[in-house]
Every structure is written in structure tokens, then in C-alpha cells.
Structure 1
Amino acid sequence: MLDDPGLYGPRRPLPLRVGPVPGESTGSFVNRLAHANGLSLAAFLDRVGQGEASAYPERVEKYPQSTEMYVNEAGLRYLAVLADLSPVLLQRDLPSLGAGRLLAGGPEEAAEWRWPWEPVAGHLVRYCPSCGDDLGVGEAVWLMSPDSWQVCLRHGYWSDDARGRGPGFMELAELPETVTAHRLRQELAERWGQAGEELFADSFQVAVYWWTRMPDTVCWVRRAWAAGLDAREMRAAPLVIYPEAAELARAMLDFERAGQRDTTDRSRWLAGVEQLMAGWGVDVAEGRQALLVWLGRHRRGVLAPSSPAGGSGLLLGAGHSRIASRTGPVSQRSCLTWQLGMAAADM
């Protein structure tokens, strides 16, 4: 039994159902549900409550890769009735309907929705088209992703939040090292839980530092060209640095697990990573500073007892934990606070 939408809410579902894709943006789902039932977006929204679609509903409908929809609790109930799904199931699959993203207003408030031109959090990233075909989805699906990219290992696609600039997808057939890197990232997260995710975030941020200063590194230029991208455009950075970031994350894990952190041990680890950098073609002198910052925030760490619920219990240094977030994109999960697109002098 679906929640009662209240006195003024819709009483029955729309005739044709649409299943949400896990991680899908609310705007993407609503567009698909409206179109499946022969409704324009504006006509559909009249059934969901009062709101504003950036004052231009037709633009919102035309550019789902640029904007996201948010509702209050009553609006969630209305949407649940129209979709013939419980609010709990919608919140499970659509991140922007989570409790922390609902608009203000209690259950007795009028249903409201807002459609700001920029998402409140996350990145709108295109869902793999082959996965969409497998599900029988008849139009583009957009995910609300914490990172600005998504990797589909099943079909070998990389997609990002480029918003229509350049190719919509990059095929990874000519970039097997990127596929390997994504698998390694997944393995770190599965084996080491939160610590594995945060160490990858740290390594990715170090690689961002390197790319900002050295975008013409040969292996990165080659990968950008293979993906059909300009080597110096910021969109290319996550894709091209992914392999080095994954390998560096594994080296950081070795450092944390060893638990040997005096000056000699840190120098030995740094020398080993510098050898890796030289092999990758990354200028060692230019890139060392980011590694020194990371070492400074990982001076102390503890290997906690194994925990079935939380990986193997590797706890990172206090300097890391004071800065890194446990959720969000890689830039927030890292103890290294620079951002992709930041001027090199500001890092």
C-alpha cells in the first residue's frame, strides 16, 4: 500500500510504469516517466505539486544533463503514487530524494518541487547506453554521481559530466590500463572498506596535482588522444591519470599496512614511489611535493582488529582523518584539499 498522498494529491498511478535505474537523477526519472505517458514535463509537474523549473520548463526538459529536481516530503508522496512505487523504493534508487536532500516542509505542508539549474550535490553523468538497452530503457538516463565520471566495466565505457561538449562516451577498448585501474580501485574498496576508498581518493588527488603541473606527460597525452579528447582539457584529467592513481593507491596501502613511519621508513617508501613516477614518465622533482604533503598527514596509523562488517579494519593517520570526509567525491574523501581546475600556484 502506497502512502496516502493527502486530500489534493494524485489518487492513482499513471497508466504506464517506468522503473528507476539505481543512482538515477530524479530529473532523468521524471522525464522518462512523463514521456512514457505522452506528457510534456510541464504537464507532468502539474501533478506533482507547486514549484519552479528554473522559470523555463522547456529548457529543463531539453537539458537533463544540466539540472536536477528536488521535492519536499509531500512531493515525494505524490511522485510515489504517480510512479506506482513506495517512497522508500524511490529514495533507495534516486539519490536526490534521500532524506538529506528533501526540501524543507513537514508531512502536512503542500507538495513542492524545485528544479535549480545546478544540482545541489554530485554530478550528472550519462548512464552507459548499452546498459540502458539491456534494461529496455527507451531514452537517455542520467545518473547523480558523487564523482564526475562513471565506468562501465561490462561494456567498456567511460562517461562524465561534460554536458554535451565533445563525445558523450569514451570507449575503453584502447585504454585497457584504465579498465585495470578501475578494477583495482574496486578491489581496494572491497578488501579495505572505507580506508581503501580514502586511499584511492588520496592517490587521485596526488595525480591531480601532477597533471595540473605536467599535463603534457607522454602517457597522459596518449590516453587523451585515444579517447578523442584534447590532452590539456580538464575533462580528460580523471580518465588519463586513473592508472597511475590506482597504482599509487596500492603503494599507499603498503605504507599504511607496514606501520613503519620513522624518517628512514618514510624516505625508503618515497624513494620507491619516485621510481614508479620515473617509470610513468612523471617528473620526480616536480611531483615530489604532493607526496611529502601526504606523508605529513599519515605520520601515525593503527591496524585495528579485523571486522567482518567494515573490511579489515585499517585505520588511517590522525592527520588524514581530521580532514577527509567519509562520503562524497574523491576530492572530499581525501586529506589533500586541492581541486581539479585549481591554479598550480594555489596547490
Structure 2
Amino acid sequence: MITSLAPRRLQPLPRTVAPLHRESWDSYLRRLARANRIPSRLLHEHLDDPARIQPAPLPLLEAICDLSGQPRDRLLRALPDLRPPRPDDSEPVASLRLARSGWKLHPACSHCLMRKGVTDVLPRHWHWAPVSTRLCLRHGQWTDDRAKQFALRPVPEVLQAQRRHHRLRRQHGWGPVVLAIRAATTMMNGWFEYDAVVETRHRRMSALCRSDRRAYDNDPMVIASAYPETVALAGLLTAPGLRDLPFTGHPADMRLFIDEVRARVLPGYQYDYDNRRDPLVHWIAQGHRRRTLPVPTAACP
């Protein structure tokens, strides 16, 4: 016996767009609104107005399915933050499940979008990507910035650093690598402030930045120029046999760690414990402080 399908509770919009691979549902709604020449804010208000959706609140997936006219299965495959939890999932919110699994919302590469027929690349479209993503390897495009994307072909070592970053994530897990990249970025910024910058980084900055352009804090081109050294230093900070060397108390271990810093990041680097401007001195001091904190113990019943 064939039963009729339930009627749509929302009228489909005149124009539909296909969802992109791993696109966020909010980004998809913005593209759907632009295709129909209506403000995306009004489309969100339409979905959030209970008076328009009767007799009960409509799940977001079903609402987007009705509005877009796209098959439900296609939306589920393309938009991961609409997927319902599995029976063994402890987190019912899809975006939190993705974030806790090592994914993040990341601007989509403008060249990838144009290849898929999406020509309105501004404002940025967002998709879910591994937390280690900084650029598009297919098109050699730096994408880790909300405002601008730029080509990295003149600096191929930045592309290689992205591959090493992904490799670190697979080897050590995304959590430790995120912490290591954060610490390495802080150290690279500190060295940059008092001009302890290697010659190769100056060459990359010259290749990426115009001669008349003034850099600023957190400039994406400055960050990209330091990315190879940042990933190399993060590899040192996640290596099980090396990351604990500054905290053993043995001078030979400390010398070995500094030799690794010279080989990976700063040739000719001289470690001076009294130099409080040195970010590595600060990082080691913080590590010693954390390791001497008392460990809380459970109260006896």
C-alpha cells in the first residue's frame, strides 16, 4: 500500500542551490537567501517564527529541506551540523560534536567555490574542516582569515608546512597539536617583535607583501610567512622524547633541546635565562611552574 507523503509545512523558495561538501547550514541558508534576493536575516526570522510553522516547531533539517526543495539525504550528506546524534553520542548538538572531534568552521577557498559555480565569494562561505587547516592545498591559497585570501605559490614551503601540520594531527591527536601550535605561534610572534627572525622568513614576507605595505599585528601574511617555523616548533613541542627535555634538570638535556630549536626554527639561537623578553624563556618558566603545582587529591570519605 502506497501512502501519500506528508505535505510541506513551509513553501519552497523559487530558486534553490545545491549544498556544498561539509558546508555549514548557516552558510547554506545565506547562499539560499542570496539566490532568492532576500536578506538572510529575514530567512532566519522566518524559520524562528513559531506562528508561521504550525502545528508544532519544525526541526531545522526539515525546515531547510522544505525551503530549499533539496532531498533530505543530500542535505544530511553535505551539511554535517544538521546530522542527528547516534545512539552512543553524549552530545546532542551537532556543532559541538564536530568541535569536540577536532573540526572547526573555516572559510571556504574562493577558487574551490568558483570551480563549483559559486561566484559570489563575499561574504565568506564557511565549511567544516580539520582544526589543522590553514590553507587550500589544491589551489595554494591561504584561507585562515575572515577578510582576505592570497596565493602562496611563491612560497611553496608554506604548502609543505600545511602537510606537516596535518601529519602532526594524525600522529599525536588534534588536542595536543592545537596547544603546541598555540604555544609555537606565541613564541614566533615574540621573536618577531624583537627581530629574531630568520632570513627565510624575511624572504617569504617580501614575496607575499608589497614593498609599500605596512604589516600589523596578526596580519595573515605575517602569520603565513612564519607558518613553516611555527609547525616545525610545534613538532618539537609534541615529540614525546623531546618536549620534556627542558624540565629534567640535566644540562645535557637542555642543550639538546636548544640544539633542536636551532635546527628547526632559529639557526644561531642563543638561550639566555636572564632575557625575559625571550618567549622560549617565558614558556620554559611557565612549564616549570605548572609542573610544581600541587596535584589535588580526592577527600577521604
TM-score, structure 1 normalization: 0.56
In structure 1, what is the equivalent of residue 152 of structure 2?
Answer: 172
CA-CA distance at 1:182 after TM superposition? 0.5
RMSD: 4.3
User: Partners of 2:83 and 2:223 in 1: how far apart?
Assistant: 28
Is 1:235 matched up with 2:216? no
Higher relative contact order (CA 8 A, sep 6+): 1
Deviation sequence 1:192-231 (CA, Å, 0-9, x none): 334xx52353144233233135334254444334223644
Say if 2:115 is the partner of 1:134.
yes
Q: Which runs of structure 2 are paired with 1:42-57 in the superposition (5 Å)?
A: 44-45=43-44, 47-50=46-49
- Distance in 2 (alpha carbons) for counterparts of 1:186 and 1:277: 18
- Give, in whole Å, the separation in 1 of the partners of 2:226 and 2:237: 16
Distance in 2 (CA, whole Å) between partners of 1:278 and 1:75 is 48
Which of 51, 57, 63 is equivalent to 1:78?
63
- Shift of residue 185, structure 1, vs aligned partner: 0.8
Q: Could you tell me which amino acid in structure 2 is paired with residue 275 of structure 1?
A: R
Letter in 2 for 1:262: T
Task: Give, as a single letter, the amino acid of the residue that structure 2 aligns with 1:287.
Answer: P
1:158 paired to 2:142: yes
1:269 Cα deviation after fit: 3.7
Q: Residue by residue, what CA displacement relative to the aligned partner does 1:49-78 show, whole Å, maximum 9, x if unpaired?
A: 329xxxxxxxxxxxxxxxxxxxx9644431
Q: Give matches, 1:18-37, under 5 Å.
A: 18-37=17-36
The amino acid of 1:137's aligned partner reads V
Contact 2:132 2:165 in 1 (8 A): no
Contact (CA 8 Å) 1:149, 1:158: kept in 2 or not?
Answer: no
1:100 aligned onto 2:93: yes
1:160 aligns to what SS in structure 2?
coil
Q: Which amino acid aligns with 2:249?
A: T
- Which position in structure 2 is the counterpart of 1:287? 279
TM (norm. structure 2) is: 0.63
* Residues 16 and 32, structure 2, Cα contact 8 Å, conserved in 1: yes
Q: Which has the larger radius of gyration?
A: 2
CA distance in 1, matches of 2:188, 2:155: 20
2:255 matched to 1:271? no
Q: Structure 2: state its 5+ residue gaps.
A: 51-56, 85-91, 96-102, 273-277, 296-301
Identical columns (%): 21
Counterpart check, 1:262 vs 2:248: yes
Which residue of structure 2 lines up, in the alignment, with residue 182 of structure 1? Answer: 162
Structure 2 Cα separation of the partners of residues 42 and 295 of structure 1: 47
Q: Structure 1, unaligned stretches of length 5 or more? A: 52-71, 103-121, 300-318, 320-347
**Contact kept? 1:17, 1:33, Cα under 8 Å:** yes
**What is the total number of aligned residue pairs between the two structures?**
252
Q: Quickly say closer, same or farther: Cα 1:29–1:297, change in 2 above 3 A.
A: farther
**1:199-218 equivalence runs, <5 A:** 199=177, 201-215=179-193, 216=195, 217=197, 218=199
Q: Deviations over 1:144-192 (max 9, x none)?
A: 56869730000000023343xxxx2111011112111100011122233
Following superposition, the deviation at residue 47 of structure 1 comes to: 4.3
Post-superposition Cα deviations, 1:1-57, rounded to whole Å, max 9, x if no partner, equal xx9798xx305x334432223443444321211232344436644642329xxxxxx
Do the aligned partners of 1:26 and 1:96 also contact (CA within 8 Å) in 2? yes
Give the Å deviation of 1:287. 3.4
In structure 2, distance between residues paired with 1:96 and 1:223: 40
Cα distance in structure 2, aligned partners of 1:279 and 1:28: 41
